Amino acid sequence: HFASYLGARFKIPYNVAKTLPRENEMLFLFKNIGGCRPSAQSLEIKHGDLSINSANNHYAAQTLSVSCDVPANIRFMLLRNTTPTYSHGKKFSVGLGHGWDSIVSVNGVDTGETTMRWYKAGTQNLTIGSRLYGESSKIQPGVLSGSATLLMILP
């Protein structure tokens, strides 16, 4: 009995599969009929000029739009590019230098992962937030800079 199923998602009827050559390579072309796209490839969140006494817990954010032309579930996951100075438990953070960290959130979720659903084609906004954190014994004035990568994972 020749296989009536090929791969993890593509079913081929048995009457078609039995006519296919058994030892030759086959080329399958698939047309992508839908997808999702972010409005930008990068975002810069600027906290502006702050005094060292008012910087702790300061919040700044940017908005990222994601357009989908089909219904979709998208998992958003943050990966840190700069190591934080402090441990923040389950909160996602990146190091900014000079004894400062940024606790990063996506739509208010600061664990580094969240999911959004598109019930129909359209655009939704994500708010990417940064909350500054530093302990008085370690913080210093200076230019702060850090980064993270936001993955859009489609099933």
Give tens-digit pLDDT for 19-56. 665 665 556 655 555 689 999 999 999 999 999 999 99
Structural domain includes residue 115: yes
User: Would residue 8 count as lying in a domain?
Assistant: no
What is the per-residue pLDDT for 12?
Answer: 60
b/e sequence 21-30, b meaning 16+ C-beta within 10 Å: eeeeeeeeee
30 lies in a domain? no
Q: Residue 91: count other Cβ atoms within 10 Å of its Cβ.
A: 18
Full-model pTM: 0.76
**What is the per-residue pLDDT for 145?**
93
Residue 40 lies in a domain: yes
What domain count does the chain have? Answer: 1
- Mean pLDDT, the chain, rounded, equals 86
Range 133-152 average pLDDT: 94
